[in-house]
Structure 1
């Protein structure tokens, strides 16, 4: 019996998601769900998706906020409150509303994650949840002459206790509240708790839910991938308070060693799974590209010698087409390099064909001593981001030896006749390179 279109799409998705399922198993993810997400129409599906991650072997810490619920209680009790620099000034009257709202949301989450998950795709799953006083806080203090009173910031995360619970198969639930050694309660930013938890645990990913699909550029278009330097530049533009909190949190996470921070929407059903299990993703990914000794950047004329040294062995083997120094100097503005301790250990180039809305990915090379650490993927991500910023629809690559690597990353075999006319004329037929293409 012939399979219908839905079945074909399902099988294709399942096959494409399987590498991610394998890669995520045993990893620690910290997920931040704000109060707006708890009130979302997709809340039950979000919880089901989180439960699915747990069932796939992901070690999960779920941090919840309660800003919306706190505001509702303050309004009902006719208690006025104010903000400064994005932080709520929490006096004693406000603190009672905070405690009430946070406690009710914690119970709501524990109930949803408990055995059963009735009427959900994860019906019958048993998710063991535990919460406690894992967050030590300190007062935010006095800023610009304003006393923030019971508003605080994270002082310490009980990393050992949380790791022990994760090892035992628990999902650890943290709230936007912290406690001092003297028993004082503080109202915290959920973003601060999530970020500091991810850093303390050395998490593989920090995932933050937002009311928007992700971060957007000045034209209102989704930015799929950003580097910390780009986030810093983006912060100079006007944004909502939510966007400011998310961007500041992502920068703090990157500076703390978190390689990948994802921003996804709680208003889009299935956004979490689409972001984690599809090549295209669904929100904004902020990738750490700089350490104390390694960075990825645009190439300059001073890098020509280092690039030639990197690619020469592959040119001699016939893996790469030979490039003269003169040709490389002419095209150097098209190259991106990874530099470690002053040595170029990776490079890639993007040759755009704007009339055909496509570009060639060429000369993707990582030094043999540094092929761990996903540097090839980082270069590919950067090249794809450049192509999207140029509003191109697809990438193509010509290769003789690395076809499988590109296929595993979403490229599919194409025909020479589908290349731009200029590239078809320059095609080296004796070399007989295969053509692969990827839609962006």
Structure 2
């Protein structure tokens, strides 16, 4: 029964994301190692599920191990000079064969719809083609890179046409020139170029090695493009793959991509966990802030109500009607996290005094670590000082110690103005605390 209730709860919590992602354009980059993995079909099933939920998907698979395998079989090599690949005629033949094989294997799995499989009863259309125009890297520092190229242009209109028809678009790491040449491209570069050309809502990479962590070695869940740029400029010790993708993520955000997600491929269901849970399982890089502390607006009434209702039922907060909240919403400061209100606090000056009341102070249970309560309190104190108030009043039944640890001292009814004293609910028996600002 508990498993069933957990499933129901998860499904309900995921519904806002299902609605939010429908019709959005996501570009997903993954490696040739992912394709070679015996459990590659799990990833394909997750991608098919996203497509069935209305997500417009562009897939960019790599093919490095497949290329290396063919080179080894033929006694050929793909030389690297100054960190760049040199693709000669023999290597290009291996690249085309390997990339073609990856494309066919991916299309085959996306076409699977047998009974008792996750894709039973659902048909995925796959579209691929010459979407990427390329030019040669040419000769650099005396080295001719031959058939290794770089992205020149992406035919975004052609990709959008196929996405609008409901197809999953598959873009291989090959580029074509007006002269009919074929160039070997880096799959990561293709994914970034496609996402930027489409103005994709999300670009998701499934990483093979490393992850983005903070100074304690814990997963860094979100950061702005500016914060990511700062980490890169400080020369932090990052895995090569993470460094390249982080640098590319900054550029992508600056060029119109909504968000870039870096996920560990070996986490089963990483895409679904990232897209349909509040905190996800990877690192998010976005052009703007993922979490903001700001003044509340009229559109926030519903979110504040959803946050405080459980606390009102527990008797922690005084119940407020929607009508009352609508009239008082301009007094509120909120913390918004990815469209959800996870913190609130209201400041009300008490007439005839230098005292302001801190009310409706709440932080969502899932986010009570990380100093959000302190950030809310600090902002309210700042607003109080700006309003000419010298003291802050709070009434609480459960969190007296938290406020005392932050400088609030016990007070009595005689310490507050008569008007507020008359509205005191003796039945709640809340304790009064005042802090001098």
TM-score for the superposition, normalised by structure 2: 0.69
Q: Distance in 1 between matches of 2:70 and 2:135?
A: 24
Residues 188-239 of structure 1 show CA distances to partners (whole Å, capped at 9, x for unaligned) of 1111111111111121111111125742234432110011122223332233
What is the Cα deviation at residue 18 of structure 1? Answer: 0.3
**Alignment check: 8 A CA contact 2:204 2:262 kept:** yes
What is the Cα deviation at residue 86 of structure 1? Answer: 4.2
State the partner residue of 1:9.
6
**Alignment check: 8 A CA contact 1:213 1:268 kept:** no
Residues 54-113 of structure 1 show CA distances to partners (whole Å, capped at 9, x for unaligned) of 000111111111012112222232223333454322122211111111011000000000
The change in CA–CA distance for 1:114 and 1:395 in structure 2 (over 3 A counts) is farther
The change in CA–CA distance for 1:364 and 1:56 in structure 2 (over 3 A counts) is farther
SS in structure 1 at match of 2:398: helix
What is the Cα deviation at residue 137 of structure 1? Answer: 0.6
Q: Distance in 2 between matches of 1:419 and 1:23?
A: 39
Q: Distance in 2 between matches of 1:87 and 1:431?
A: 73
State the partner residue of 1:254.
253
The change in CA–CA distance for 1:247 and 1:131 in structure 2 (over 3 A counts) is same
Give yes or no for the alignment of 1:285 onto 2:266.
no
SS in structure 2 at match of 1:417: coil
Supply the RMSD in Å over aligned alpha carbons: 4.1
| Unmatched runs of 5 consecutive residues or more in structure 2 | 302-324, 337-341, 348-362, 378-395, 412-419, 426-437
Q: Distance in 2 between matches of 1:206 and 1:232?
A: 18
Give yes or no for the alignment of 1:422 onto 2:422.
no
Q: Distance in 1 between matches of 2:186 and 2:172?
A: 9
What is the Cα deviation at residue 132 of structure 1? Answer: 0.8
Q: Distance in 2 between matches of 1:364 and 1:212?
A: 46
**Alignment check: 8 A CA contact 1:215 1:243 kept:** yes
Matched ranges for 1:85-100 at <5 A: 86-100=83-97
Q: Distance in 2 between matches of 1:89 and 1:362?
A: 57
**Alignment check: 8 A CA contact 1:263 1:283 kept:** yes
What is the Cα deviation at residue 159 of structure 1? Answer: 1.2
Matched ranges for 1:43-192 at <5 A: 43-84=40-81, 86-116=83-113, 120-192=117-189
The change in CA–CA distance for 1:395 and 1:39 in structure 2 (over 3 A counts) is farther
Q: Distance in 2 between matches of 1:220 and 1:88?
A: 33
Give yes or no for the alignment of 1:275 onto 2:256.
no
Q: Distance in 1 between matches of 2:240 and 2:376?
A: 45
Q: Distance in 2 between matches of 1:20 and 1:130?
A: 26
Q: Distance in 1 between matches of 2:327 and 2:236?
A: 48
The change in CA–CA distance for 1:427 and 1:224 in structure 2 (over 3 A counts) is farther
Question: Number of residue pairs matched?
Answer: 349
The change in CA–CA distance for 1:125 and 1:426 in structure 2 (over 3 A counts) is farther
The change in CA–CA distance for 1:348 and 1:280 in structure 2 (over 3 A counts) is closer
The change in CA–CA distance for 1:106 and 1:214 in structure 2 (over 3 A counts) is same
**Alignment check: 8 A CA contact 1:212 1:264 kept:** no
The change in CA–CA distance for 1:296 and 1:127 in structure 2 (over 3 A counts) is closer
**Alignment check: 8 A CA contact 2:110 2:124 kept:** yes
